[in-house]
Amino acid sequence: MSNILNTATVEEYEYELDPNTHVEVTKGPISSTSDEPKVDPVVTLDKVCAPDYIDLGDTFTIDYILTNVDVGAAGPNFNNVTVTDTIFTMTTYATITGSTNFTSIDTGTGVGTVDLTSVGGTLDPGESITASVTFTSIGVPVNPSQFVTTAIALFYDVPIIMTTNDTCGSIIRNGDLTISKVMLTPSPVYVGQTVTYQITITNTGNVDSEIEAGDFTDYPPLTDLTDIALVAPPASISFDGTKIYNTVDITLAGGASLVITFTAKVI
């Protein structure tokens, strides 16, 4: 609530003090101020995100609950409402698969225009509308909380423009691993030649992944290879004469890689 201040002023006035001598008196200024309370319009945005945690390929939904609060008497009737949210622009990581009560969503600017048809074309005092967007996660951002964004709602009833905001988002947690094994020695190779292999395990996600002891194995073909030797192996990796394996649990952080190199003689 605020106040309307309105002041009327007389800067200067004169009157005759002595009618015989016509002496005049000059006075002023005088003023009076009207100070009346004004009830300001109130708008709200409640951004609701579900579920709290998602994995790559999961679907998540955001509801934007927009309300023109009834503060009594006549209030603005908003004929244009928009929602700006950077989640709309993250097309590398999330694709929009559906929406409700939006006439358009610009994935370049992040601005969505709310469709007010269901409330008669204007959002009147005491009315709410829920605009929803459904996404599917298609990429894993470096930051698991990248989908947690602040939405800004603008309500228009020219010349009245009001804004409000709210923050939430689904947290994408992914720890997918990839494994690659290559021979570093140019092929073809020959009997009696020493060759080098390299195994790379990479966490392509954004949270830690754990490989329990013994869950990584590599069985070199002993009918073709001999004199197998690990090259500067990580402390968790050993060769027991039959297989290369992890002797203890291995934790790979998001974006990290484990590289295992070994040499062998072709027979």
Q: Are 229 and 173 in contact, with CB atoms under 8 Å apart?
A: no
Residue 191 in this model has a pLDDT that exceeds 80: yes
Give residues with Cβ within 8 angstroms of 191, minimum separation 6.
Answer: 266, 267
What's the pTM value of the predicted model, to 2 decimals? 0.80
pLDDT mean over 222-243: 96
Q: Are strands 127-137 and 59-69 parallel, antiparallel or unpaired?
A: antiparallel
Task: Report the CATH superfamily, name and number, of domain 177-266.
Answer: Endoglucanase-like (2.60.40.710)
Summarize pLDDT for 10-36 with one digit per residue, the tens.
Answer: 999 999 988 888 889 999 999 999 998
**Tokens read off for 62:** 């955001």
Enumerate the domain spans of the chain: 42-172, 177-266
The residue assigned the tokens 């074309």 is: 121
Strands, E, within 11-148: which ranges? 13-18, 23-27, 30-38, 42-50, 53-54, 59-69, 80-84, 94-100, 102-106, 111-114, 127-137
18, β-bridge pairs: 23
Asked if the domains at 42-172 and 177-266 fall in one CATH topology, the answer is yes
Amino acid at 251: T
pLDDT mean over 54-69: 97
Q: How large a percentage of the chain has pLDDT more than 90?
A: 91
| 42-172 CATH pick, 3.40.50.1100, 1.20.1110.10, 1.10.20.140, 2.60.40.740 | 2.60.40.740
**Pairwise CA distance, residues 29 & 12, whole Å:** 5
Give CA 90 to chain center in angstroms: 8
Q: What is the pLDDT of residue 80?
A: 97
Summarize pLDDT for 125-182 with one digit per residue, the tens.
Answer: 999 999 999 999 999 999 999 999 999 999 999 899 999 999 999 999 999 999 999 9
Residue 1 in this model has a pLDDT that exceeds 70: no
E strand or H helix at 261: strand 257-266
**Tokens read off for 263:** 């040499």
Residue 2 in this model has a pLDDT that exceeds 80: no
129, β-bridge pairs: 66
Q: What is the pLDDT of residue 3?
A: 85
Give, in degrees to the nearest 5, the angle at Cα 114 between 110 and 116. Answer: 175
**Pairwise CA distance, residues 180 & 202, whole Å:** 9
